[in-house]
Amino acid sequence: MARLRTEKYDNVNLLRAFAALSVVVYHVIELGGWKSFPTEGPLTTFRIGWLGVDLFFVISGFVISYSALILHRLAPAAFAGQYWRRRLTRILPLYLLTLVLWIAFAWPTFFSQATRDWAWQLFTHLTFIHSFWPATHGAIDGPNWSLAIEMQFYLAIALAIGWIDRTPGWRIWLYGILIAWAWRACMVVLYAGDVPVLFVRTTQLPGTLDEFGAGIFLAKWILDGRRRMPLKGAPWIVAGALVGYGTMKIYWRWAGYWDVPWMVVFWRTALAGLFFCAVAAAVDLPRALSRRWLRPLEYLGEISYGIYLWHLFAIQYVIYVLGARGLESLVAVLGLTVLAAALSWRYFEKPFMDLARRRPDDSRAPDPTAASTPVKEGGLW
């Protein structure tokens, strides 16, 4: 069996936590009509908390390709089985549970629709193609649209793992950037002026390959022999600050975004560069950052998949049922969301993940590749 030099990158969970919490706060602001939330200063970041999804895509590009490459290099013949068992047991259990609960409690008239309408909703969501059409894009538990993109990315990794393994990382990222630009440019030409449809079309997998590609490049760079930098993490923090300043200065200058074609086509590539620096810094910084100094935040990153899928349930109850608004609603939503995520992680998600790491022919024996997959499982979470 091949031997690979691997490391643990727990600090990535800090970024997962930030991304998930940014999305939650953003939705509380927008869905609760929180007009008094700060419009200047550092907290303004949460008014564009949708950027958390873009950060998740870069993290996913790194984590999934890193783990997949290790599995492929250790045991090519067993790659498909190991890869899909891990991916499906991580994604499906909580996804299906929240899907059922959303239909039961948040959409009680679901089956009152025409049969073809509810059947189409179920079919597209169960096959992870609901991101393709505006009518299904965010219809059941809104954030689920990004899970469709994630699952499509998982499929792309599985199909192209051999090519990814033998192709230089910089070339993969370059191809991803060019494909994303071409796709988004075509969508702008076809759907300019129709913002909801343009959003749906540009966020399809071809249009996000510059973000996923950034993560793939980092994974390849680490596995294939990166050069160590002095002052662990510091160069990436400085680079991220510089790229971030330029990226966000451009955004706030043209914050209309969807009305500016070149922003739609090119700007998210700069954002991918910023998040690439953030993930690279997390990889380089000492593990004590997450394992000791910021342990509570690291835990939130560990349960971030649940935070992502449960938070709209909390918003539905706190804002639409109880009528809470402002800071009161934010505290209540965060509390309920973290509680639900912690319980589902401990008693529902983790047992499935543990099962996936066992050999199919012996439930008591550990997966022989488990010790060589140091990045915690998950992309969006």
pLDDT tens column, 48-67: 999 999 999 999 999 999 99
pLDDT tens column, 84-110: 999 999 999 999 999 999 999 999 999
CB contact set of 237 (below 8 Å; sequence gap of 6+): 277, 281
138 pLDDT above the threshold of 50:
yes
State the average pLDDT over residues 263-271: 98
CA 208 to mean position of chain CA atoms: 11
Judge contact between 12 and 282, C-beta under 8 A: yes
- Enumerate the domain spans of the chain: 12-372
Q: How confident is the model at residue 374 (pLDDT cuts 50, 70, 90)?
A: very low
The position carrying tokens 């129709």 is 194
Distance CA 218, CA 285 (A): 15
For 280-285, the CB contacts below 8 A with 24+ separation are 280/218, 280/236, 281/233, 281/236, 281/237, 281/240, 282/9, 282/11, 282/12, 282/14, 282/15, 282/233, 283/9, 283/11, 283/12, 283/218, 283/222, 284/229, 284/232, 284/233, 284/236, 285/11, 285/232, 285/233
C-alpha angle 155/157/163, rounded to 5°?
Answer: 135
Mean pLDDT of the chain: 91
361 pLDDT above the threshold of 70:
no
Length of the chain in terms of residues written: 381
Distance CA 247, CA 270 (A): 6
1 pLDDT above the threshold of 60:
no
CA 12 to mean position of chain CA atoms: 12
* Positive/negative CA dihedral, 38, 53, 99, 97: negative
pLDDT tens column, 199-218: 999 999 999 999 999 999 99
Judge contact between 94 and 350, C-beta under 8 A: no
Q: What is the pTM of this model?
A: 0.92
